[in-house]
Amino acid sequence: MIQVRFFASLREEMGREGAELEAVEASTIGEVWEKVAAGKERPANLLMAKNMDYSGPDTPVCDGDEVAFFPPVTGG
């Protein structure tokens, strides 16, 4: 099972805190997004992490991984 988490405004946009996905349903972080995003296009500036390490959409995922999606952090 892959645990998926949404953070900050993305959590509100998705309408949920996260999801669970069978590991056989996705082999990369990009595919995880496609499966859990309900048809929403992946924002170009979306930050992604696998097991708390920043990652890209082509990063492989496997059973037991946690994948997180969150908007970019801005300061000011």
Note the pLDDT tens digit of each residue in 22-69.
Answer: 999 999 999 999 999 988 889 888 999 999 999 999 999 999 999 999
Residue 24 lies in a domain: yes
pLDDT of residue 43: 86
Query: Looking at 1-5, 67-71, 72-76, which range is the least confident one?
Result: 72-76
For residue 75, name the pLDDT band (cuts at 50, 70, 90): low
Instruction: Find the CATH number of the domain harbouring 14.
Output: 3.10.20.30
| Residue span of the structural domain in which 65 resides | 2-70
Please determine, for residue 17, whether its predicted confidence score (pLDDT) is greater than 80. Answer: yes
Q: What is the DSSP string of the chain?
A: -EEEEE-THHHHHHTSSEEEE-GGG-SBHHHHHHHHTTTPPPPTT-EEEETTEEE-TT-B--TT-EEEEEPPP---
Would the pLDDT of 74 be above 90?
Answer: no
Q: Indicate the number of domains in the chain.
A: 1
